[in-house]
Amino acid sequence: MLKNYLITTFKYLQKHKTFFVINVVGLTLGLTVSFLALLYVKFEMSYDSYHQNADHIFRVVTDVQSSTGTDYRGSAVPLAPAIQEAFPEVKASTRTVLDYLIIQKEGGTANEEKIAYADSTLLSVFTFPFVSGDPNRALNVPFNIVLSESAAKKYFGELDPVGKTLLINGKDRAYVTGVMTDMPDNSHFSEP
């Protein structure tokens, strides 16, 4: 019986080759697009989920569209302390600003780097695994910086950069107080 079905199917496919090819290509294309869409949705749904308390962390932003079409995302500086004061449920708040600055090792070449200005409370809200340094004291003083592993290797090679300095915009000294692992691509800190 099965042999008869296979023979009948094979004869049908030989007779209708174009129809068969169109169906196979359509099925393959449909499955591929569905799989890629599933991967994309999974990636987007996993944004910032690598933090320990990711389900308790919320990002507050104001989207402003200018007349030139430029989109600004941010919020007023006093908003974080005001929210924390108004809502006792908020255990901690932090503020960050992503920017680009010229960073260089003294006597070395200058590079434009993506940086984040942050409150000292940043590391109590977000979980960034440290390779070296103390996350509890890393950002307690202005001009202390924490480098990613790739930035630490770029500027200091295999040496431990903790305690060393970098120049910001050619004039201000920043003290390296920690090195953290590189952030994954599904982090809002990776956005420009």
Q: Of the spans 27-41, 72-86, 126-140, 176-190, which averages the highest pLDDT?
A: 27-41
Q: Is the pLDDT of residue 4 over 90?
A: no
β-pair partners for 180: 130, 148
pLDDT at 191: 56
56-81 residues labelled b (16+ CB within 10 A) or e (exposed): eeeeeeeeeeeeeeeeeeeeeeeebe
d(CA 90, CA 145): 26
What ranges in 46-87 are assigned the alpha helix state H?
Answer: 79-86
Q: Is the pLDDT of residue 192 over 60?
A: no
pLDDT at 5: 84
Burial of residue 147 (number of CB atoms within 10 Å: 0-12, 13-18, 19+): buried
Regarding predicted confidence, which is higher, 97 or 177? Answer: 177
Q: Provide the 3-class DSSP secondary structure of residue 139.
A: coil
- pLDDT band at residue 190, thresholds of 50, 70 and 90? low
Regarding predicted confidence, which is higher, 21 or 188? Answer: 21
DSSP E strands, the chain: 62-65, 71-74, 96-104, 110-118, 130-133, 144-148, 165-168, 172-180
Q: Which residues contact 91 (CB under 8 A, 6 or more apart)?
A: none
d(CA 178, CA 135): 7
Q: What is the pLDDT of residues 22-81, one digit of tens each?
A: 989 999 999 999 999 999 999 988 887 788 887 888 888 877 777 887 676 778 788 888
Q: Tell me the backbone φ, ψ of residue 9, rounded to 5 degrees.
A: -65, -45
pLDDT at 68: 81
In the chain, % of residues over pLDDT 90? 20
Average pLDDT, the chain: 86
Q: Which residues contact 174 (CB under 8 A, 6 or more apart)?
A: 143, 144, 145, 165, 166, 167, 168
Sequence spans of domains, the chain: 2-45, 54-190
Q: Tell me the backbone φ, ψ of residue 64, rounded to 5 degrees.
A: -120, 125
pLDDT at 184: 82
95, 77 Cβ separation under 8 angstroms = yes
pLDDT at 48: 78
82-91 residues labelled b (16+ CB within 10 A) or e (exposed): eebeeeeeee
In this predicted structure, which of 113-117, 140-144, 178-182 has the lowest mean pLDDT? 113-117
Q: Is the pLDDT of residue 7 over 90?
A: no
